[in-house]
Amino acid sequence: MAEPATFAAPLPAAFFDRATERVARELIGCRIVRRDGPHRRAGRIVETEAYLGPRDRACHSSRGRTARTEVMFGPAGVAYVYMIYGMYFCLNAVTRGPGVAEAVLVRAIEPLEGCLGRGDGPGRVCRALRIDGRLNSASLAGADLAILPADRPPAALARGPRVGVGYAGIWAKRLLRFWERGSPFVSRAQGKRAPA
DNA sequence: GTCCGGATCTTT
DNA sequence: AAGATCCGGACA
């Protein structure tokens, strides 16, 4: 049986088992497909951030290996989903490992199909695709959640500092955020307060 | 056990 | 500019 063209093969785990910064760049333009019961929800990634492990003070794994961060210490190619501010979830792709606790945060998607609202911000990405903590540690090549290669060439990439990590010292200044230049679906990233 | 603050978003 | 609303991590 021929599948619809939109069911291309997901990215293999090996895609995620490479330098995290590179994965963050190459994820721009890729598609997230979520099976939510009878619903199919999909979006095209337009904004990401790289989190570079224990040495990166903005990365959760810099506080050590704990129940929450455990999944980041495992193999690449699974989801790290955590709750923030008591009401939103954020979706990450675990990169590298086992033993290397790095990840890429999906900050914005262009809604393609079945999305619940907009996807211009990490909390909205999870709301749009109905992703919550139950998908923590799920495969990114699975039936319920998958990341597929880009089906059209992404526009030029832009990069800048990550959002909301002003506490992270020199790591706050690193240009680890990537987005598709000119996309109207990128988060506003209103920058939070500047460090004193 | 208490306390603090956050990889956010919405409303004022 | 501040509230919503909860958990992880730090400390005692």
* Average pLDDT over every residue of A114-127: 97
pLDDT, position A42: 98
pTM, two decimal places: 0.93
**CA atom of A14 to C1′ atom of B9, Å:** 34
- Provide the token pair at A138: 């799920």
Residues with CB under 7 A from strand B: A 49, 51, 58-61, 80, 84-88, 90, 92, 103, 105, 117, 121-125, 162-165, 167, 187, 192
Q: Are strands A39-51 and A31-36 parallel, antiparallel or unpaired?
A: antiparallel
Task: Kindly report which amino acid residue has its CA closest to the C1' atom of nucleotide C9.
Answer: A63
Give the model confidence (pLDDT) of A26-72 as tens digits: 999 999 999 999 999 999 999 999 999 999 999 999 998 999 999 99
CA distance A134 to A55: 28
Say what the pLDDT of residue A1 is. Answer: 52
The span from the CA of A68 to the CA of A187, in Å, is 26
Closest CA to A53 of A94, A106, A107, A12: A94
Q: Does any strand C atom come closer than 7 Å to the Cβ of A191? A: no
* Alpha-helical segments (H) within chain A: 13-16, 20-26, 70-73, 122-129
Domains of chain A, earliest start first: 13-182 (3.10.300.10)
Average pLDDT over residues A181-190: 88
Q: Is the peptide bond before A12 cis (omega within 30 degrees of 0)?
A: no
Nearest nucleotide by C1' from A80 CA?
B7
